[in-house]
Amino acid sequence: MSETLSRRSFLKDTALASTEAFIAGVAPVAAAAAQTQATAPPERQPVALTLRVNGRAHALRLAPETTLAEALRGPLGLSGTKIACDRGACSACTVWLDGRPVCSCMLLALDAEGHEITTIEGLARGDALHPVQAAFIEHDALQCGFCTPGMVMSCAALLEQTPRPDAEQVKQALAGHLCRCGSYPHVLEAMLDLAGSPERRP
């Protein structure tokens, strides 16, 4: 390395050149992003809608791509509904739509308008837990509890249709619910106990 180009000055010049190139590259990207936001097409602008949740109507303004799960947990503050996979693979986000269990991460909030939505917060009657909630507690049917609201919603929906389900029907109702803690045997026991089934484990 020559006397006129020392290692220190070489590194300094290189760093300066890199920084300038970085800034020159970033500035247009940031400007383009701002422009995109300002010129978002009408179909991406927030829209007004009303969701009926747990018996009450809620007027909202949401981006059209907002899922029902996001609407429940965000503006409506109903965080009992969990989002785990966010792609329809675990059922943690299960709520009722007109009494039927659905994955709320797979449903746009817009598509839930006009339907009756029930969340885990809507199951209890005041201080009185829903029988499924009470049975889960009695049978230690949860550990971390992240999958529990979704499982309770599916189990409660099953009881609405089939008050005395057998083991196969409970397993069918829970198909698609993933529990990384492995609470399935206790959930089954809770449900069979609730149903007064002779299949209850000793």
> Which residues are at the interface with ligand FES (CB under 6 A)?
83-86, 88-93, 103, 105, 142-148, 179-181, 183
CB of 186 to ligand FES, least distance (A): 9
- Cβ atoms of 138 and 97 within 8 Å: the answer is no
CB of 140 to ligand FES, least distance (A): 10
Beta pairing partners, 118: 96
Q: Which is nearer to ligand FES, 54 or 148 (CB)?
A: 148
Q: In sequence order, what DSSP letters do the residues of 96-140 get, joined into one string? A: EETTEEEEGGGSBHHHHTTSEEE-GGGTSBTTB--HHHHHHHHTT
Q: Which is nearer to ligand FES, 20 or 140 (CB)?
A: 140
101 vs 151: CA distance, rounded Å: 10
Q: Which is nearer to ligand FES, 151 or 159 (CB)?
A: 151
Q: Which is nearer to ligand FES, 148 or 154 (CB)?
A: 148
CB of 173 to ligand FES, least distance (A): 15
133 vs 155: CA distance, rounded Å: 9
CB of 19 to ligand FES, least distance (A): 42
Q: Which is nearer to ligand FES, 5 or 137 (CB)?
A: 137
Beta pairing partners, 62: 47
127 vs 73: CA distance, rounded Å: 22
CB of 103 to ligand FES, least distance (A): 4
